[in-house]
Amino acid sequence: AQSVTQLGSHVSVSEGALVLLRCNYSSSVPPYLFWYVQYPNQGLQLLLKYTSAATLVKGINGFEAEFKKSETSFHLTKPSAHMSDAAEYFCAVSASAGNMLTFGGGTRLMVKP
Amino acid sequence: EAGVAQSPRYKIIEKRQSVAFWCNPISGHATLYWYQQILGQGPKLLIQFQNNGVVDDSQLPKDRFSAERLKGVDSTLKIQPAKLEDSAVYLCASSFRGEGNNEQFFGPGTRLTVL
């Protein structure tokens, strides 16, 4: 069984500040991990994914995430927030086969001018 | 490249009525998924198809929900009869193959309101 926990349903940062969105997972098998972003009234868009090639994963729009097996974490970061980053962010896990995604509850990122 | 298409975008019905949603995946994608996203929550998988066969429908409420992908391309999801708790966004996604590291591409969703 797989599960994902996203700490903080709402995160607020100032423009230019560091963005840190937390994700912890549990999986009985080596996982694949994903971060998706959802803008209002739109579907989900992939930001980045971990597939065991490298523990530090770089994605689109300046985001990156680090896979830490010992902490079962896959936190999302961005050095400097932009107003356009305001959206809902979802962490998801899938097993090595089958590809069923299990999502966390989401974190709404708000960026203050 | 065209993305995943869904229709309608919005639907309002009364409880006990029936409703159907349509999804056209990205061309060439063998795997198709339907997710339910209740307001304030992450998406939850309802059903996964590989071509026209069902891979996983363990979380589909089969007493009222049904889905088909007859020719291995388009898919429809039906709810009959609808309940208030079915109010949600229904997302369709597709991937090239149903493997764990494959990216899933999502459509814009259908927002269902049950009154």
**Mean of the per-residue pLDDT values of chain B:** 92
* In the block, residue with structure tokens 């998801």: A92
pLDDT at res. B90 = 97
User: Is B86 in contact with A29 (CB distance < 8 Å)?
Assistant: no
**Distance, CA of B92 to CA of B97 (rounded, Å):** 15
Residue bearing the bigger pLDDT, B34 or A69: B34
Of residues B39, B7, B24, the one with CA closest to residue B113: B39
Find which of A1-15, A28-42, B92-106 is predicted with most confidence, using mean pLDDT.
Answer: A1-15
Concatenated DSSP letters of B33-99 = EEEEE-TTS--EEEEEEETTEEEE-TTS-TTTEEEE-TTSS-EEEEESS--GGG-EEEEEEEESS-B
pLDDT at res. B99 = 64
Residues above pLDDT 90, as percent of chain A: 70
pLDDT at res. B76 = 97
CB of B42 within 8 Å of a chain A CB? The answer is yes
Which value, in Å, is the radius of gyration of the alpha carbons in chain A?
Answer: 13
**Mean pLDDT, residues A83-87:** 96
Residues above pLDDT 70, as percent of chain A: 96
State pLDDT tens for residues B21-71: 999 999 999 999 999 999 989 999 999 999 889 988 999 999 999 999 988
- Test mutation, B10, B26, B106, chain A, max A CBs within 10 A: B106
Strands (E), A30-103: 32-38, 44-50, 56-58, 64-68, 73-78, 87-94, 102-103
- Is it the case that residue B100 has pLDDT exceeding 70? no
Q: Rounded to a whole number, what is the distance in Å from the CA of A56 to chain B's nearest CA?
A: 16
**Distance, CA of A7 to CA of A40 (rounded, Å):** 21
State pLDDT tens for residues A28-61: 777 889 999 999 878 899 999 988 778 899 999 9
Residues of A numbered 60-89 whose beta carbons fall under 8 angstroms of chain B's beta carbons: which are they?
none
**Distance, CA of B36 to CA of A19 (rounded, Å):** 28
Torsion angle of C-alpha atoms B51, B56, B60, B65, degrees rounded to 10: 20
